[in-house]
Structure 1
């Protein structure tokens, strides 16, 4: 006679496996993809998907594909949607801070402004300020230029504020930098916000692929100016690590394709 506790646990494990696949997927998943990924019988998969759907954990779109359900959307609406991103970014930001010694920031677009959501302080006494409460013109900052270049922030119109003689003064001047920023993968700000302050930043991609944040380093021009390109390349590498953390299904697929256990 079979043990009901064992079969019950197995059903929970299988349902959890399906739910994890749907929630962590880069996009909606088809019934066939879920059968193939789990190796479950079609009848079992259908039964478990129905149960998950009935409990609002997943839902089907008009094409019959499965995505995370209303319960997850309600949870996200009641809680800070960036808390998990900040948690995953924290060790990466500290690693960048250890390697550069400079101030490290994670920023997002909110409306037509840039908001700093996490910061790691510089190890130097002479360092960039605490940017968490500073409302700086986005076109003068490296993270702002990144969010502009990847269409995460709406392009400003007309004459721009110019805090220093090095600041960009028009949206056309800003637009002309986008090709270079996208080609090399990072943006720089050279004394455009404050005299004596330089910065470099890269895009961070989220669950669905588009850029959702900017990851940057800032510090005194005397220390950063000759290292901006090197730090830019470091940030590109570390941003890729963060993106894999934010997209675990892609991470597992890449490890599998590379033959990593």
Structure 2
């Protein structure tokens, strides 16, 4: 084989590998081996060989079902520009499990100023309650996510007067502090129609390696569906939040973060 032919084959392999990476990165959800082989038009053996190389170089990886998702190098790059992108990637399996177990919308929120911004969501399978909250600024005292952060030092208490989106919203610092004491005792926060009429939620804190509250994990849905299930969801969230906190601690150790 001539040097020119070798170069052409090498370029072709790079092109094919790049095309596989592009398919995975641009997909709306994890994509299977079979889907990649069919979409690329490559032989299954060639697809398998290229995917193995892409996994070794951390450009791609597989989720718990074996489907392909962008690899750790993408998360590392994104983290340099958005510190929460890697947290979202790590949290996604937890959010999906909670959505399957509860049937309701699951959210991950972070503090931003004196508000809570939701950075990841797994939406309920029901039509009622299916709203996208990602990127929406929410008054922290009206949300279970915000109350969890208040109770476990992820957010400083707000100043009066407090915004009252509904007649059920907490309207004074005294009432908020009383609610926060209850959250600390239970370990989880709740709201009932305090942000929107008909909407209730449960949330717990997510902690980093140092034990600081860096986010909150919550389940929300119509009040009629959450009634009688709040304690169950609270216990479930506490278990999953502890597992997620462990993932964050392990990732920080891997990256050498003190």
Bin for the TM-score computed over the shorter chain = 0.5 to 0.7
User: Aligned partners of 1:166, 1:99: CA distance in 2, in Å?
Assistant: 28
Provide closer, same or farther for how the CA distance between residues 151 and 92 of structure 1 changes in structure 2, counting only shifts above 3 A.
same
Listed as ranges, the gaps of 5+ residues in structure 1 are 1-74, 253-261
User: Aligned partners of 2:131, 2:204: CA distance in 1, in Å?
Assistant: 20
User: Aligned partners of 2:251, 2:80: CA distance in 1, in Å?
Assistant: 25
What are the superposed Cα offsets for residues 49-98 of structure 1, whole Å, 9 maximum, x if unpaired? xxxxxxxxxxxxxxxxxxxxxxxxxx898421111111110001000000
The 8 Å contact of residues 119 and 135 in structure 2, kept in 1 or not, is answered as no
Q: How many residues align?
A: 179
Runs of 4+ in 1 over 6 A off after TM superposition: 249-252
The residue aligned with 1:237 is 239
TM-score (norm 1): 0.65
- CA deviation after TM superposition for structure 1 residue 128, in Å: 4.2
The residue aligned with 1:198 is 200
- CA deviation after TM superposition for structure 1 residue 250, in Å: 10
The residue aligned with 2:145 is 143
- Are 1:226 and 2:206 counterparts? no
Give 2:250's match in structure 1, choosing from 243, 248, 257.
248
Listed as ranges, the gaps of 5+ residues in structure 2 are 1-76
The 8 Å contact of residues 140 and 193 in structure 1, kept in 2 or not, is answered as yes
User: Aligned partners of 1:251, 1:200: CA distance in 2, in Å?
Assistant: 30
The 8 Å contact of residues 245 and 251 in structure 1, kept in 2 or not, is answered as no
What are the superposed Cα offsets for residues 132-190 of structure 1, whole Å, 9 maximum, x if unpaired? 13222111100011111112112111221111111100122111112211121100000
- CA deviation after TM superposition for structure 1 residue 129, in Å: 1.7
User: Aligned partners of 1:81, 1:174: CA distance in 2, in Å?
Assistant: 30
User: Aligned partners of 2:247, 2:121: CA distance in 1, in Å?
Assistant: 19
- CA deviation after TM superposition for structure 1 residue 251, in Å: 10
User: Aligned partners of 1:77, 1:226: CA distance in 2, in Å?
Assistant: 40
